[in-house]
Amino acid sequence: MYPTVADALALPVIRQGRPKVVAGSTGLDRRVRWVHVAEVADIAHLLRGGELVLTTGIALPDDPDALRRYIDELAETGVAGLVVELVRHWSEALPAALVAAAERQGMPLVTLSRETRFVAVTEAVVGLIVDAQVAELRAAEQVHETFTALTVAGAEPAEVLREVARASGLPVVLETLSHDVLAYDTAGMDPSELLADWARRSRAVTVSERTSYHADAGWLVTVVGARGNDWGRLVLLCPEPPQHRQLVIIERAASALAVHRLVARDREGLERHAHRTLLTELLSSPTTPSDLTARAGALGVPLERRQLVGMSVRPSTAALIKPTRPALSMATQEVLRDLAEATALAARRARVAALVGVVDDTSVRALLSLTPQADPDTVLRRLTKEIHQAATAAPRAMPVVVAVGSNVGTVSDARRSLIEAAQVAQAALRSPGGHAAARAYHRLDDVRLRGLLHLLAEDDRVAAFADRELGPLIARDASHGSRLVDALRHFCEHGGNKSAAATAAHMSRTAYYQQLARIEQVLGVSLDDPESVLSLHVALIALSVRTGT
């Protein structure tokens, strides 16, 4: 904001006095906050710092110690520079003690060999200061207008950061309070260099105020948040102490980001709530509420004369499959909320109308509304690609399993498609081999026998069959603490390959073969009989579907 000592010395009114820098030339870039004319030696305590002091030297002492003390006191106060007229007290040169002290302090010491009107100097330098302040205010006003426009337009964080980098010419990073990078703009810097070991570097930078400059790191940091709910930090990599304009830029950007978060959270929260309500009503009753179609249409999801496809999106992380503790359940709900937002974002990007919401503790449900002319497979490939990308870019990045139900043409059949999608997702998630997330999306025919058993999970006859086949083995494990059911599962999943099954069970082949013999004894069957093995494998899958294990 303020002119430098060098700027002041370049003014014509000072140039007429033939200025000469006799000491402290390294400090010519110091900022001049004001000009002060002082003819007394003990002036330092009356100054505030940043002044360019003008003097004829008429009242200054000749004693070297007193001159050194005079310079030291001015330097301690933070004076920008000292200009001495060589006319009244000293005419040829300044005392060596004065020059040496100024050089030692790095404080610009300037002589004027001609008589100079100090009032004209004061007016000219103050004019520079005022012009700089006006320019800074105009620049700040422009910054305010720019970021206000971004805020009103609901600009995404990437767009806000792009403007920060453009306006400041410096790299900027938006991070969480746990130092995870949410977004950044390199301003031409190498991204790998900017983000290298970011979390460790960021943890080392602590600030005491909401906006602070950390000189050692060269970081200008401001906290991002609103309503007492801070959620991130905006970091401007600023090698030099920041100018006022840079402070305005980063603080206005932080405000824009905070408002975007609030608006987006409230808007999406209301939208997700409305979608969840409609999906819950669809799933909870075999009959469709009379006004559901109209309410969905009002949300931008037409349901009449459309192709409707149920969808289930589940985190593929094993720890999130079945929460068993309140804390885990809470964490799962947070993950699912993020996943719902990611799924909704993907649907918007793919231009697919959809109801998206969280209706239970396991998955995100969606009902896709496609035009009669659309090719469902083409739309699903495009949409699921966006879902996988959005899920990995979410605050809690995670791989997901996407499953879809059958295409239906009426709202009354949408419930069946939604239920089918959920069952297919669960079957795909529990399929052996860990390849569930490798496929872009799953249909019923992709999960084969397991999918069929999921559809029949509520059928008492399937449960009775599983109990009949495996009951004695389950009872044996319960009474003896054995793991014969697990041993049988490894055998079936490896197609009867005993060596591979033993390896999967982490047992020696001798011990594993003994367990297989015990299984045959308990069940009264031969594991060399293909039909018996098939029957047991079906029973194991049915048991897994029923118990969720």
The per-residue pLDDT for 354 is: 92
CA nearest neighbour of 399 among 472, 320, 459: 320
Local confidence band at 51 (pLDDT 50, 70, 90 cut-offs): very high
Tell me the mean pLDDT in the region 493-520: 88
The per-residue pLDDT for 329 is: 41
Strands 307-315 vs 219-226: parallel, antiparallel or unpaired:
unpaired
CA nearest neighbour of 218 among 202, 200, 236, 198: 236
Tokens 């044996």 found at:
476
pLDDT digits (tens, 9 = 90+) for 4-49: 999 999 999 999 999 999 999 999 999 999 999 998 888 888 899 9
Q: How many CB atoms lie within 10 A of CB 250?
A: 26
Contact 519/473 with Cβ under 8 angstroms? yes
pLDDT digits (tens, 9 = 90+) for 353-392: 999 998 887 889 999 999 999 999 999 999 999 888 887 7
Tokens 């009114």 found at:
13
Tell me the mean pLDDT in the region 454-470: 76
Q: Which two tokens stand for residue 416?
A: 């069946």
DSSP 376-402: HHHHHHHHHHHHHHHHHHSTT---EEE
pLDDT at residue 290 above 70? no
SS3 (DSSP) at 124? helix
SS3 (DSSP) at 112? strand
**Cβ-count burial of 458 within 10 angstroms (0-12 exposed, 13-18 middle, 19+ buried)?**
exposed
The per-residue pLDDT for 136 is: 76
Most confidently modeled of 131-140, 394-403, 420-429, 476-485? Answer: 476-485
What distance in Å separates the CA atoms of residue 507 and residue 515, rounded to the nearest whole number?
Answer: 10
Q: How many CB atoms lie within 10 A of CB 78?
A: 15
Local confidence band at 509 (pLDDT 50, 70, 90 cut-offs): confident
**Cβ-count burial of 508 within 10 angstroms (0-12 exposed, 13-18 middle, 19+ buried)?**
exposed
Q: Which two tokens stand for residue 348?
A: 């918007």
What distance in Å separates the CA atoms of residue 244 and residue 1, rounded to the nearest whole number?
Answer: 7
pLDDT at residue 482 above 50? yes
pLDDT at residue 110 above 80? yes
Least confident of 73-77, 145-149, 207-211, 462-466: 462-466
pLDDT above 70 coverage of the chain, percent: 88
The per-residue pLDDT for 317 is: 54
What distance in Å separates the CA atoms of residue 401 and residue 391, rounded to the nearest whole number?
Answer: 10
Local confidence band at 452 (pLDDT 50, 70, 90 cut-offs): low
Q: Which amino acid is at 438?
A: A
Tell me the mean pLDDT in the region 49-71: 92
Local confidence band at 75 (pLDDT 50, 70, 90 cut-offs): very high
The per-residue pLDDT for 398 is: 74
Tell me, rounded to whole angstroms, the distance of Cα 139 from its chain centroid. 29
CA quadruple 249, 263, 342, 234: dihedral, nearest 10: 20
pLDDT above 90 coverage of the chain, percent: 31
CA quadruple 471, 477, 480, 482: dihedral, nearest 10: 150
The per-residue pLDDT for 288 is: 66
| Average pLDDT of every residue of the chain | 84
pLDDT digits (tens, 9 = 90+) for 389-447: 887 776 666 788 899 998 999 888 899 899 889 888 877 776 654 445 567 888 877 66
The answer for 233, left when phi > 0, alpha when psi is -120 to 50, beta otherwise, is beta
Q: Which two tokens stand for residue 336?
A: 């699912």
What distance in Å separates the CA atoms of residue 511 and residue 526, rounded to the nearest whole number?
Answer: 18
CA quadruple 210, 212, 214, 219: dihedral, nearest 10: 90
The per-residue pLDDT for 284 is: 84
- pTM score, two decimals? 0.45
The residue count of the chain comes to 549
User: Of 301 and 139, which is predicted with more confidence?
Assistant: 301
Tell me the mean pLDDT in the region 472-481: 86
Local confidence band at 295 (pLDDT 50, 70, 90 cut-offs): confident
What distance in Å separates the CA atoms of residue 277 and residue 299, rounded to the nearest whole number?
Answer: 12
DSSP 9-42: HTSHHHHTT-EEEEE-GGGTT-B--EEEE--SS-
pLDDT digits (tens, 9 = 90+) for 79-105: 999 999 998 888 888 999 999 999 999
CA nearest neighbour of 157 among 230, 233, 246: 233
Q: Which two tokens stand for residue 350?
A: 């793919």
Q: Which amino acid is at 234?
A: L
Local confidence band at 328 (pLDDT 50, 70, 90 cut-offs): very low
> Measured at the alpha carbon of residue 27, what is the angle toward residues 251 and 107, in degrees to the nearest 5?
120
What distance in Å separates the CA atoms of residue 119 and residue 542, rounded to the nearest whole number?
Answer: 97
Cα→Cα distances 371→351, 354, 376, Å: 11, 12, 9
The per-residue pLDDT for 266 is: 54
Cα→Cα distances 148→62, 157, 254, 255, 256, Å: 59, 14, 12, 9, 7
**Phi–psi pair at 181, nearest 5 degrees:** -75, 125
The per-residue pLDDT for 458 is: 66
Tokens 């719902």 found at:
340
Cα→Cα distances 247→175, 229, 240, 250, 396, Å: 18, 22, 13, 5, 31
Q: How many CB atoms lie within 10 A of CB 375?
A: 10
The per-residue pLDDT for 182 is: 78
